[in-house]
Every structure is written in structure tokens, then in C-alpha cells.
Structure 1
Amino acid sequence: MSCFVSDWSPESPTLLSLIRNVSLLVLVIATGALVATALPTLWGGHLGGATLRFHMMASGAVVVLLPVNAITRLLMRRQPATESALEMGAFRTLLVFGIATIATMFVCMLPVASTDTMHELVELHGWAGFAMAAAIAAVVYTTFTREKTA
């Protein structure tokens, strides 16, 4: 029993890689759901009812797993296998647009913004979200291209 406990480490490369890959997979699925539910807004529609509920459930996964993925990537950078500049750039872009997407809706929920400001925040939220979707596609591409060639 003590052998099993002493072998397990939160910084073990396989555990960190597993957490990174699973969190990235769920982020991709959640982002896909968010984009699918938000597509009608591009043609003047709005979110409501079951579509909004599904959008909110998927957004919870993004709010939780984006920091989890970022922390595991940060811990993995301390290990010898380093990320390429392209991979790091794609991930930083994901973080910027992910935080912008989360922050715009968070501020919109606070009782400080006027109605006009809330409309602007919702529009920024949408564009930041679509940019986040493109960034997550770049992260997936750069992450798994490197792993295949390494």
C-alpha cells in the first residue's frame, strides 16, 4: 500500500498528461456545444429556453476546466519536454479569449452595468467566444501534432 502511495505524485508526467488531455477533450466538447448553441445569434437570433440552459451547462465546464488545463500545462513546462513556440502561442491565445469570454459575461451578471453596456458586453462575449473556439482548434492541432512527431 505504501509503495502505491509513494509512487503516485501529482507532478508525475503521466498523470499531468492525462489531466491535460482529458481537460482539453472536455474543453473541446464543451466549446463545440457552446458554438452550436450560439450559432443562431449570428443571424439575429437569441438564446433562450433549452438552448440557453444547454449553453450555460457547457459554459460551466469551460469555466472550471480552462484553469485546470492551464495549471497542468504550467506544471508540465517544468519537465524536460518543452512546448514549441507555436503551441505556446496557441495556448496563450486560448487563455486570452477564454478569459475575455468568461469576464464579459461575469461583468454582465454584476449589477453595475447599464442596459446598453450589457448589450455591448453580450456582443463582446459572443465574438470572444467564437475567437476562443478558433483558438482551441489551434491548441488541439499544435498539441497533438507535436505529440505525434515527438
Structure 2
Amino acid sequence: MHTAIELCMRSVFCVSSYEDLDKPDRLIPIDMSRLFEAIKTQQSEIEFAVDVHDVQKIYRWSNFYLHAGARDYPSIVGFVHPYLHPLFVGSPSMLVGIRMKWETWHVVRAGFLPEPKALSFSQRLAAAWQALWSQRKKALQLPNAEERHAQCVFLD
């Protein structure tokens, strides 16, 4: 369940990791909480077959269940699986579990792109000093993705 939610949400937005520009063979995973935060910014524009708040709560619970060994009532797992089923395969009213406009997909993905910041003179001076005496900050980029690889339906 945990892995299914993670794979589903990552494959919808084609967001799983950053590429390390210093070491091209190295990928740095993107935390799922960041993905859920990015989705939250466009939530009103995305149609989910299952309430996205429930998906996030179930993901957090199953993460704790999987990694910390916390065990609740056995019937919870039996309830959650059929509840999430429409997210993965769609429902009678939605043939796919997640639908959105093409533009919305790009806005969510853009939340993972590095933003250039306008720095004051003192911030630039501090950054230059730090660059001289410490390790350089990692240069990361989000791998390119095409809409046709997204596991969702675009409404436009």
C-alpha cells in the first residue's frame, strides 16, 4: 500500500529524484512530503478519485506501519486497500484515478525547479566568502519529463 501510493503519486507527476550535476550517475530522492506540499498548491485544479487528504494520511500511517513496526487493528489494512483502489485504476465516474489540466501538471512540477533568488549585497558577499572556504552547494536538477509519461489524464 505504502509503495503503491508512492509509485502512483510519483508517476503522475514524473517526480522521483533530482540529478546531481556533479555526479551524473547519482540520483537524490525527493521526499514525498514535498510532493504532497506541491500537490496542495494546485489541489483545487486536480481531480482525485480518492480524497487527496485521505491519501496523504494513509501514506503517513503506512510509512509508520512499515518502517516503525507500529501495528494497529488488522482490519485497517483490509479496509484501506479497497478504499484506495479507485486511485490506482479509476472509478465508475473516472476511468483514471487522477485528472488535471496540462498546465496544472507543469505548475506542480515547477515547484521542484530551483528558483533564482535576488540577493542583497551582503548576502552575495557572504555567499562568495562561503564558496571560498567551504564545500560548494550541490547543483541539482529535476530530470526532464514529457506529459505522455504521466500516469494521469489531461483534461485539455
**TM-score higher than 0.5:** no
Bigger share in strand: 2
Q: Which has the higher contact order (CA 8 A, sep 6+)?
A: 2
Task: Calculate the TM-score normalised by the size of structure 1.
Answer: 0.29
Bigger share in helix: 1
Flag the structure with larger Rg.
Answer: 2
